[in-house]
Structure 1
Amino acid sequence: MILIALGANMPHPEHGDPVNTLAAAVRDIANTVSLMGQSSWYRTAPVPVSDQPWFANAVISVETDMQPDDLLARLHGIEEDFGRVRRQKWEARVLDLDLLVFHDLVTENRDQGAEIVLPHPQMQKRAFVLAPIAEIAPEWRHPVSNLAAQELLSRLPSEQAFDIIGAKDIPT
């Protein structure tokens, strides 16, 4: 299973509000890979807690013959196409695409250096990732801890609030 997280909390000049921006990003991703599933749209508090706007988030499941590095490069290219500029960690953004897991691959680069890090090193600490995964892939288990998304989600602090704000919108 290959899982990609999507997030945005700033309006995009062409696509508008964050949910519309994420829907457009899903369509762009689907031009590169086979889209297998998509979670509902979620409204989530920023992590770490801050005064920036809440995020719209979702998770998609995809299949591809691409290698993980190539897929991540394509995701970063889509972010750039949407105007994403990386200035500082955890800033507000028009689009954030994270490669969460690539099958059961666990890389040795756990220090988040220049190479790809899989599974995503913070995913087990983020409700905005775990709730959508639990929705679309309840059988999925974290490749390091072997815990299901719902189990990991139940261990998180309550300040990581989220609501479902929209139904699935899988592009055709």
Structure 2
Amino acid sequence: MIHTDVTEPQDFLVALGGNMPSEAGAPGDTLQAALAALAEAGADIRAVSAFYATPCFPAGAGPDYVNAAARIGAAMTPEAFLALLHRIEARFGRERVRRWGQRTLDLDLVACGDAVLPDADTFAAWRDLDPAAQMERAPETLVLPHPRLQDRAFVLVPLNDVAPEWRHPVLGRTVSEMLDALPAKSRAEVLRLP
């Protein structure tokens, strides 16, 4: 059962992905099993997107991904919820060997309501980080909203299924608006699975 750190459920947006098999099976099966594990831990799975095939990022780093997004309620702080996501990733064989490497399961905490964590300056520093540095560095603290969600079709396309009207608390744009701002080529690379 979830240990509560807050009294009211928070509204979390989570990006799910994987491109390697796990004990649960193929990547799509792993995403389904991860959602079931979250529900077993007491999280309220409020909405789940369609599943999408997306090119591996960075290009050539491995098989294509299966990506999805979910809106999840839990009476937890963002830090406690992130710890739960990491435990579920580990349960399905996630190894943090290389940043942006192949993985059985990736559960990214994208947003918690309109929270900006740890503060606007830290968010801005990570959002504006040089792409080469992004490959090498990871924040030591939770940064919300995810600093690059506005740049990633593989996050925004599924997120648009579950939270099209969620408004980025720093950028002021909805998920739908951020998605529309991406190049058509990027959006077209995210293919809905049957």
TM-score when normalising by structure 2: 0.80
Deviations 1:80-106 (A, max 9, x none): 111111111111100000000011000
Which of these two proteins has the greater Rg computed from alpha carbons? Answer: 2
Q: Secondary structure at the match of 1:85?
A: coil
Residue of structure 2 equivalent to 1:139: 165
Residues paired across the two proteins, number: 165
Aligned AA for 1:104? D
The answer to whether 1:8 aligns with 2:34 is: no
Amino acid at match of 2:71: S
Say whether 1:89 aligns with 2:87.
no
User: Could you tell me which residue of structure 1 aligns to residue 145 of structure 2?
Assistant: 119
Task: Name the counterpart of 2:179.
Answer: 153
Q: Does 1:165 align with 2:193?
A: yes
Please report how far the alpha carbon of residue 154 of structure 1 lies from its aligned counterpart in structure 2 after TM superposition. Answer: 2.4
Q: Bigger relative contact order, structure 1 or 2, given CA contacts below 8 A and separation 6+?
A: 1
Separation in 1, partners of 2:162, 2:186: 23
The 2-side partners of 1:103 and 1:122 are apart by 17
Whether 1:22 and 2:48 are equivalent positions in the alignment is no
1:44 Cα offset (Å): 0.7
Alpha-carbon distance in 2 for matches of 1:125, 1:48: 14
User: Judging changes above 3 Å, is the alpha-carbon distance between structure 1 residues 62 and 159 closer, same or farther for their aligned structure 2 residues?
Assistant: closer
Q: Which runs of 5+ in 2 are unaligned?
A: 1-10, 127-137
The residue that corresponds to 2:6 in the other structure is none
Deviation at 1:48, TM superposition (A): 2.7
What is the letter of the counterpart of residue 115 of structure 1? T
Q: Secondary structure at the match of 1:7?
A: strand
Deviation of 1:51 after TM superposition, in Å, equals 4.7
TM-align CA RMSD: 1.5
In structure 1, stretches of 5+ residues that fail to align are: 167-172
Q: Does 1:72 align with 2:113?
A: no
Q: State how far apart, in whole Å, the 2-side matches of 1:37 and 1:159 are.
A: 24
Q: 2:154 aligns with which of 128, 134, 145?
A: 128
> In 2, Cα distance between the equivalents of 1:114 and 1:137?
27
Deviation string 1:41-95 (CA, Å, 9 cap, x unpaired) is: 1111123322521100110101111111000001001111111111111111000
**Correspondences of 1:22-41 after superposition (within 5 Å):** 22-32=31-41, 33-41=43-51
SS of 1:58 mapped into structure 2? strand
Identity fraction in percent: 41
* Amino acid in structure 2 at the alignment position of 1:95: L
